[in-house]
Structure formats: structure tokens, C-alpha cells
């Protein structure tokens, strides 16, 4: 075989070997980010994750549509420590909730207490008359008791510009605001309402700004977000990307997210709809819908 023919033969082989090595390297890096797996079949549509404010290494996750009024307390390994039930909306006769899409942890009415905020904010067909967020005071027992209950204080929310779907609920501990970010539009909208509210009241959200994220529809839809425990960092994710901002001088978060974001590492999950900071703000976890799906951890390098 001539030298020229050998080169022609070896070049594509070398290229294929390079691609295989690159793919293996990428897979190794991805696998190294997996710290656990959801461990019960009942957690098959996980749509949100948030770190406990009082229990070390405990995180809250929940299913979206089709589940009852409950959420789960887990370790990063996926081990379930507690299933927490609460009283939902009596108008949702089947399950008590309609479509819970995100969860957050932050301050509330009692000083020094930590609260879970569970957002029943999904509205695929843009027909809901109101959304509901449930506020529940955290308990130490949620780290040990396999079955627990929570007293839920609901607030009902309406958009000022008509119904829409949303999967992102965040709590700002500095300005004491609840944030909701819409999901499907070409430019999504950011809304707020105060954390201090009258239980079971119905209020109109305040429209703050619009955000444009490049990409194709569906892939660019906004599915989750979180604000760090100290209020200084923000994460918003789509199905394919994770966006990051640092707050400046305690400005409103809705101003922070209008600046150009930094893209963070993210392995595209099957249907990734959950993201949450660690309590120290030095990393974040993601999780996806599906049975026994992985839990990913990413270290945040600033």
C-alpha cells in the first residue's frame, strides 16, 4: 500500500478514535458529577429541589402534576428521610394540588424561622384563574421521621397580564420577595409578590421585567431557578442551559437578572426541571423527571 493510501486510511481512523476518546472523557466527567439517585418510584416526576434552612445536608424535592399534596426530604444520595403531607386546595378535589412546579426555602413571618415555599404554579394550557403557593415552617423532625405533616399557609396569585405557565419559584431573603418566572414565551416575564402576606388571600403579582434567552423554543423554556441562602447569587435554568448572576450592592434581583448571565456547566438531563444551591452557595444540584434518575452536583467556581 502506498504512503498516500495509508494516510487516507489512517486519517479517518484517527478521527474516529479522537471522537471516541472525547465522548468517553465527557461521559467520565458527567458520571463524576452524579452523587446519588432518586430511590423510590413515587418520585418519578421531580420538578424542584431546595436546600433545608435548618437541617444539615437535607434537600426538599417534589413531583409535579398527578401527585398529591406532599413533598419529600432527601439526602444528596437520594435517600428519602421523610415524606411530608399538607392540606392543599379543597377545590382541587382529586389531589389537593394542581401542578406543583418548583420549591424554595427562605424567611417568613416569624423571625429566626425557616420556611418551605411550594409553588403550585404550572398551567400548561393557560386557563387557571389563580395559582397557589404554600408556605410551611420547617421542622427538625423532617430529617428523621419517615412520615410527617406540615401546616400550610396558602396565598393565591394572579398575573396582571393574563394566565401563563411557570415552573420557576424563587425566594429573595434580602428584599423579602417571592419571584415567579414564566416558562414558554420567546421572552419570559419576571413577577414578584411580598413574602409577608395574609393567609388565603388573593393578590395580583407585580410585573417586573422581561428576559430574553437565545435558542430554539422548547429547549430554551425556563424550567427552574434559585436564589442562594445569602441572597447574593441567582440561578435560572432552561432544559439545556444554566444561567448565573451575582447580585450587586443588594440591588433588586429583577435588576440583577437583566444583566448578561454567565453560563455554568450542565449535563442535559432527560427532562431537567430542578435546580438548587447548596446552603453555602458554593455549588448546586440538579435533578430530572423519571424513575430512579440521577442527582447531579456541580461545584461553583467564581
pLDDT digits (tens, 9 = 90+) for 246-284: 999 999 999 999 999 999 999 999 899 999 999 999 999
Whether the per-residue pLDDT at 11 is higher than 80: the answer is no
Q: What is the pLDDT of residues 188-244, one digit of tens each?
A: 999 999 999 999 999 999 999 999 999 999 999 999 999 999 999 999 999 999 999
- Rounded to whole angstroms, the Cα distance separating 108 from 174 reads 12
What confidence score (pLDDT) does residue 222 get? 98
Distances (CA, A) of 164 to 11, 76, 89, 175, 296: 53, 32, 20, 25, 29
- Rounded to whole angstroms, the Cα distance separating 29 from 35 reads 12
- Residue ranges per domain, the chain? 33-299
Nearest to 169 by CA among 181, 155, 160, 154: 181
What confidence score (pLDDT) does residue 302 get? 66
What confidence score (pLDDT) does residue 5 get? 42
Q: What is the pLDDT of residues 156-171, one digit of tens each?
A: 999 999 999 999 999 9
- Rounded to whole angstroms, the Cα distance separating 137 from 86 reads 11
Q: For 34, how many CA atoms within 13 A lie in the half-sphere containing its CB?
A: 15
φ, ψ of residue 181 in degrees (nearest 5): -120, 125
CA angle 43, 299, 279 (to 5 degrees): 65
Q: Are 284 and 275 in contact (CB under 8 A)?
A: yes
Nearest to 276 by CA among 5, 108, 86, 71: 71
For the whole model, what pTM was predicted?
A: 0.90
What confidence score (pLDDT) does residue 20 get? 40
What confidence score (pLDDT) does residue 10 get? 41
What confidence score (pLDDT) does residue 31 get? 47
Residue 65, exposed/middle/buried by CB under 10 A (0-12, 13-18, 19+)?
middle
Which residues, 6+ apart, have CB-to-CB distance to 66 below 8 Å? 45, 95
Q: What is the pLDDT of residues 92-108, one digit of tens each?
A: 988 999 999 999 999 99
Residue with cell 428521610: 81
Residue 61, exposed/middle/buried by CB under 10 A (0-12, 13-18, 19+)?
buried
What confidence score (pLDDT) does residue 154 get? 98
Q: What is the pLDDT of residues 23-64, one digit of tens each?
A: 333 433 444 599 999 999 999 999 999 999 999 999 999 999
Q: What is the DSSP string of 149-182?
A: EE--EEEEEE-TT----EEEEEEETTTTEEEEEE
- The class of domain 33-299 in CATH terms is mainly beta
What confidence score (pLDDT) does residue 15 get? 40
What confidence score (pLDDT) does residue 32 get? 59
Amino acid at each position: 500500500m502506498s504512503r498516500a493510501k495509508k494516510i487516507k486510511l489512517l486519517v479517518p481512523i484517527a478521527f474516529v478514535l479522537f471522537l471516541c476518546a472525547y465522548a468517553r472523557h465527557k461521559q467520565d466527567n458527567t458520571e463524576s458529577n452524579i452523587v446519588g439517585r432518586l430511590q423510590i418510584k413515587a418520585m418519578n416526576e421531580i420538578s424542584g429541589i431546595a436546600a433545608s434552612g435548618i437541617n444539615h445536608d437535607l434537600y426538599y424535592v417534589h413531583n409535579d402534576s398527578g401527585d398529591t399534596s406532599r413533598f419529600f426530604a432527601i439526602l444528596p444520595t437520594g435517600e428519602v428521610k421523610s415524606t411530608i403531607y399538607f392540606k392543599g386546595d379543597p377545590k382541587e378535589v382529586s389531589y389537593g394540588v394542581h401542578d406543583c412546579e418548583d420549591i424554595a426555602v427562605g424567611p417568613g413571618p416569624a423571625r429566626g424561622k425557616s420556611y418551605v415555599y411550594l409553588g403550585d404554579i404550572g398551567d400548561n394550557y393557560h386557563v387557571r384563574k389563580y395559582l397557589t403557593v404554600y408556605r410551611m415552617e420547617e421542622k427538625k423532625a423532617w430529617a428523621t421521621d419517615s412520615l410527617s405533616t406540615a401546616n400550610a399557609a396558602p396565598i393565591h396569585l394572579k398575573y396582571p397580564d393574563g394566565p401563563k405557565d411557570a415552573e420557576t419559584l424563587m425566594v429573595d431573603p434580602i428584599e423579602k420577595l417571592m419571584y415567579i418566572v414564566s416558562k414558554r414565551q420567546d421572552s419570559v416575564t419576571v413577577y414578584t409578590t411580598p413574602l409577608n402576606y395574609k393567609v388565603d388571600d388573593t393578590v395580583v403579582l407585580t410585573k417586573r421585567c422581561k428576559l430574553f434567552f437565545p435558542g430554539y423554543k422548547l429547549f430554551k423554556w425556563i424550567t427552574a431557578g434559585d436564589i442562594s441562602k445569602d441572597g447574593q447569587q441567582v440561578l435560572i435554568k432552561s432544559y439545556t442551559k444554566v444561567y448565573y448572576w451575582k447580585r450587586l450592592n443588594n440591588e433588586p434581583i429583577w435588576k440583577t437578572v437583566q444583566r448578561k448571565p454567565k453560563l455554568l456547566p450542565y449535563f442535559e438531563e432527560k427532562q431537567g426541571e430542578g435546580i438548587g444551591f447548596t446552603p453555602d452557595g458554593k455549588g448546586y444540584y440538579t435533578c430530572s423527571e423519571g424513575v430512579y434518575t440521577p442527582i447531579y452536583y456541580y461545584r461553583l467556581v467564581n
